Chains A and B, each alone.
Chain A
């Protein structure tokens, strides 16, 4: 695990949010370790993992914070939204309530995260076809209405997991590099929130290990 991850051009902090039991931790473990565990334990507080991918011949390192879904943990977990440039808002396609609650999660992000955070709505457990409770079209139009990108995934059979993370990282990359082209002050532009610390998304200039940047919470 060590070694190859040490060098990267961009470091993006992503948070995984959504109701308890929708599969956030398994999405994370599928993406970072290619593992899935049907009996994975409930997340307490936050858990953390990273993975680097290539976008446009650049190495983008995703620093992913997986949060506990239970309401009681909000006070703790919302602190982790700070400095995040992307969020995967996950629901379970077989549990309508978890989809309904997406609205509340959006509100959480509005209250605690950077105003420019890139949000992707993720309908997980797409393998449970026979139990589907949330029609794809409905979720899709909800996403459009709220300016979110949308995808359905299955951490269990791997469908679209790679694509989901890839898309959101590419989207963030696109925004960041456009800003760089246009303004030349990449780190200050991305966030204009008042209470939010500027998100430093600097391309690397020096070799070797990077100082951590996005996790200053």
Chain B
């Protein structure tokens, strides 16, 4: 089980993942902004009231209460990281680690029980997993080898199906039943769906949400009712500590609207009018399905994108980034209505609610873009690199497909550029993107690294059709217009399972990956 390394990974993960973590925004300079906003920062950078080394911090709670306000400060302060690291003495680390392990094994037991139950109910369906893997003995071997060594604790569950275990826990639910899709309220939840929703609710309710567990659970799809909060946690926007969430939200929302106040009027100034014009042209021609055409929503998009662009001059606004706001906006809006969003009139929401949706979408989109900003800087090096990697990967996993594409002189850049630039949003329906992002936010570097494997799985998924195309033009037209219009969450689940398998086989095996 990939995610079983709770002991080893707990601190490592949290150092980079916990809300308020210190992350550099590549290539971007933040223009100086209102000193008002820094009021907070000043307090935070002051040495903590408790001297870091002299007083021995003995419990995690103590440590946390000493430093919790530090986490609130913001993202751009290296000192904080240094401070936090310093104050972690070994005792605290060990104690907390032990607690985590205990909690973890408790959860594991619960989990196992539930899983065994489920498996008794559905022994057949699990073996219905996609069997494309069998074509490559090497892959299957490498997966099952790792599997044998890492999942001893689960060995009693279903030894006959090694591949299903290579997936993060609980993914079998979606693979067999498409839970995420159906857990959307509106109709009666099945027992298993309800169980899953309960697990989410339990995790989310705790005084400190265990993000590792939340990721594991989310990997195979997040039930609609808890998706907004889960996304905010997974993206690092909200802190794991439940008591600090409300404060964080208020502070970040205020901060965003201070940006708006500070920058938005400059949209018609000469230096920025190109950016604003481009955004203004692009918004009306986005997916009409996503309520974007309503004027209030259009304005929200324009503000979010303009503020982001102006604060990230190394890339600025690039067509395609606009698409990336949509899933956040749609998911966060769904928090406030039971209605189907396609027919939903946003003006029925209060100004305050709309502002919250706007600010939350801005921050979550910013977090996402932090990880892929080189996709959008000059000459788009991130995309070029990823497309090259995709090509290499495909040549390793399916030589036949690769050769066919090569033989017809189709270049990967000609079809996969958009896959990278828009994170497959142009290739699959919006609902599928939202499901995809459940997993991307559960994976380390989901939007950059894991996305590559998803793209590889996505391409090879069309093997039969690709091999049927016998000339350059037809092949390229096919690849630029893949027939995914009726895709649903089950298709995405299968795709993700395959991508996970590929990642497992190739990510840590450079010799698999390189020719």
Contact = CB atoms under 8 A, between A and B. Distances in A.
Nearest to A49: B477
B285 A215 contact: no
A75 B379 contact: yes
Contacts of B471: 6, 209-210, 212
Size class of the A contact interface (CB-based, 8 Å): 20 to 34
Nearest to B377: A72
A76 interface: yes
Contacts of A73: 318-319
A63 B473 contact: yes
Given A44-B426, A46-B414, A76-B380, A212 B473 contact: yes
B284 A39 contact: yes
A203 interface: no
Given A42-B282, A212-B409, A212-B471, A48 B417 contact: no
Contact of A48 (B379, B470, B476): B476
B285 A70 contact: no
Nearest to B411: A217
B295 interface: no
Nearest to A63: B473
Contacts of A71: 274
Q: By CB atoms of chain A within 10 A, which of B411, B414, B426 has the most?
A: B414
B319 A212 contact: no
A70 to B, nearest CB: 5
Contact of B477 (A6, A20, A50, A217): A50
B151 interface: no
A42 B285 contact: yes
A119 interface: no
Nearest to B470: A209
B286 interface: yes
Contacts of B421: 44-45
Interface string B274-290: 10001001101111100
A44 B319 contact: yes
Interface in A112-164: none
A72 B426 contact: no
A63 B472 CA distance: 11
A40 interface: yes
A96 to B, nearest CB: 13
B418 interface: yes
A216 interface: yes
B278 A20 contact: yes
Interface string A18-62: 001100000000000000000111101111111000000000000
Nearest to A21: B281
A36 B169 CA distance: 47
Contacts of A50: 473, 477
Interface in A188-214: 209-210, 212
Contacts of B414: 45-46, 48
Nearest to A32: B477
Contacts of B409: 212, 215-216
B426 A41 contact: yes
Contacts of A4: none
Shortest beta-carbon contacts, A-B, top 4 = A212-B472, A45-B417, A75-B379, A21-B281
23 contacts: A5-B473, A20-B282, A40-B285, A41-B285, A42-B319, A42-B320, A44-B320, A46-B414, A48-B477, A50-B473, A63-B473, A72-B316, A72-B318, A72-B319, A72-B376, A72-B378, A73-B318, A73-B319, A76-B413, A209-B470, A212-B471, A212-B472, A215-B472
Given A39-B285, A44-B422, A72-B380, 17 more contacts: A5-B473, A6-B471, A20-B278, A20-B281, A41-B287, A41-B426, A44-B418, A44-B426, A45-B418, A45-B421, A50-B473, A68-B319, A70-B278, A72-B318, A73-B319, A212-B408, A217-B411
Interface of B: 274, 278, 281-282, 284-288, 316, 318-320, 322, 376, 378-380, 408-409, 411, 413-414, 417-418, 421-422, 426, 470-474, 476-477, 480
